[in-house]
Structure 1
Amino acid sequence: MPRSIRRIVISGVTRGLGRAMLDEFVSLGHTVAGCGRSEAAIDDLRLKFAAPHRFATVDVADDFQVGQWARHVLTTMGPPDILINNAALTNKPAPLWEVSAAEFDALIDVNVKGVANMLRHFVPAMIAGGRGVIVNFSSGWGRSTAPDVAPYCASKWAIEGLTGSLAQELPEGMAAVTMNPGIIDTDMLRLSFGETAGGYEAPSAWAERAVPLLLKLGPKNNGKALNIP
């Protein structure tokens, strides 16, 4: 595979920022393996994007599912050059004590445990290859707080800490970073902001700026908390 063509793995690829990044990476000639929880949406991606791209229905909160998918990707595509942990949930805006245990648990399972599952099954192959960049999507609410989104804030603060430690564990030649994507008009934002989310940038326009920046990341960025300007 030519050095200029990158192998990209993206979680949460069926909608929002994940789907926008997929479209942009593919348009630039890179190879993408992506996962999402919607079987119908994954089927649509398979129809639109032929091999060597590959897509699977995976719940990142399920370590067994992630492990099975990772083995398939690593066998057929090889270790990713860029691993993007994008899949996430937010909570319905409410004071923390009004958020049910079930809603809180589901959010933590995807936003924190899901990232750990992805790392557990992809990073060893990247280390064996001696290269690769890990991008764990964070948020402005992973570096600040706001009322009514305490579970989401907690999960993204956790990602900041997890990634900082991971960066110290990686060998030279690799990098792990957190990325605050900014405020983009996605379904998640509309859950928090309502109709005012429509005043923010569309995912497709965001991806045109974000993907070239992601492709430039390398060992010099290891451990950094970055932002998409």
Structure 2
Amino acid sequence: MSVDMGFSRSGAEGQATSLLAGRTAVVTGAGNGLGAAIAARLAEEGVRVVLTGRDRAKLCAVAEGIDARVETVDVASPGSVAALRDALADEEISILVNNAGVPGPVAPLWEIDPADWDDVFAVNVRGVYLVCRAFLPAMLARGNGDVVNMASVTGKRPLPRRTPYAASKTALHGLTATLAHEVGTLGVRVNTLSPGPVAGPRMERNFALEAARTGTTAHDAEREFVSRAALGRMVTEDEVAEATVAILRMRGLTGADVDLSGGMVAR
């Protein structure tokens, strides 16, 4: 089911010199958090934004702020993604931001239920595959396009009690590097953006779970975690959105992973 909220052209007119102005982007998981921030930043560049996700009410709330188009989708469902592609047949989608993701359980591997493991991979990996599979053919036919897959530093560095999430993000690095070589000579660029911990509700949840497990406080859990970063803090949603735009502006960048973690190291 779709809702057309219309597109404002004032933003595009105000960004006449932007390399991205006039292009159309699909942003998955755009109902809140990083997806909403990325969509808003793209709109500032004059990009026509299609907000996608499972919760239409949340998507419409985001659309009110940036005057975008809304399409509901479950990225883990082949039928739902195919329906999204068909609904957007009238749009020239040249940017995919695969942001939809779930954090999964916080527990030792041997305590994780297989269904919970599968749920993480269904969204974080299968979802990226399905969205790329649906929209890449049209990009390849036109000889131009960009894909930004939202990975994580957790896909490159240990994070105890988060094995399904870490494994899913590691998988995205392999998917991105290989896909970049499959489509690069055909004009499509594919990159990953790997944020470190992003300040917001998801990290607050993780700190609360860690505090409950260790018998400390959420504040202590957060302080210990951010001490691993050179900047001594988490990154922000706006910084991730700005990095997404920067990736899209770099026409010679493909098969790359951009680390935006504030210098996060594993320990």
The farther-off stretch of 37-46 and 135-144 is 37-46
Q: Which amino acid is 1:125 matched to?
A: A
Aligned to 1:193: 207
Match of 1:165 in 2: 178
Who is 1:223 aligned against?
255
How big is each residue's C-alpha offset from its partner over 1:147-206, in whole Å with a ceiling of 9 and x where there is no partner?
100000110111111111111111422211111123211333223233456963432354
Identity in percent: 31
Alpha-carbon contact 1:10-1:34 (below 8 Å) kept: yes
| Shift in Å, 1:5 | 2.4
Structure 1 pair 158–179 and aligned structure 2 pair: CA distance change class (3 A): same
Residue of structure 1 equivalent to 2:245: 212
Residue 237 of structure 2 corresponds to 203
> Is the counterpart of residue 182 in structure 1 residue 182 in structure 2?
no
Residue identity matched to 1:161? G
Match of residue 112 from structure 2: 99
> Mean alpha-carbon deviation: is it higher for 174-183 or for 126-135?
174-183
- Determine the structure 2 residue equivalent to 1:69: 84
Partner residue in 2 for 1:86? 99
State how 1:23-38 maps to structure 2 within 5 Å.
23-38=40-55
Could you tell me how far 1:62 is from its partner in structure 2? 0.6
Match of 2:30 among 13, 38, 61: 13
CA contact (8 A) 2:54 2:74 kept: yes
Does the 8 Å CA contact 2:27/2:99 hold for their aligned counterparts?
Answer: yes
Q: Quick one: distance in 1 between partners of 2:93 and 2:239?
A: 29
After alignment, is 185-194 or 105-114 more displaced?
A: 185-194
CA RMSD of aligned residues (A): 2.2
Letter of the 2:76 partner, please give it: A
Distance 2:57 2:178 in 1: 36
Decide which of 71, 81, 91 is 1:56's aligned counterpart. 71
| Aligned partners of 2:75 and 2:128 also within 8 Å | yes
CA shift for structure 1 position 47:
4.2
Can you list the C-alpha shifts for 1:17-63, whole angstroms capped at 9, x where unaligned? 1011111111232110121111221232344444xx31112110011
**Which region of structure 1 is more displaced relative to structure 2, 86-95 or 179-188?**
179-188
> Helix, strand or coil for the counterpart of 2:197?
coil
TM-score normalised by the chain length of structure 2 = 0.76
- Could you say which structure has the larger radius of gyration? 2
User: In the aligned structure 2, how far is the partner of 1:132 from the partner of 1:163?
Assistant: 14
- 2:59 paired with 1:42: yes
| Cα distance in structure 1, aligned partners of 2:65 and 2:159 | 39
- Residue number among 117, 138, 160 corresponding to 2:130 in the alignment: 117
SS in 2 for 1:221: coil
1:5 match: secondary structure: coil
Instruction: Report the AA paired with residue 157 of structure 1.
Output: T
Q: How many residues align?
A: 223
Name the CA distance, whole Å, in 1 between partners of 2:90 and 2:142: 15
Q: When the two structures are superposed, what TM-score results if normalisation uses the length of structure 1?
A: 0.88
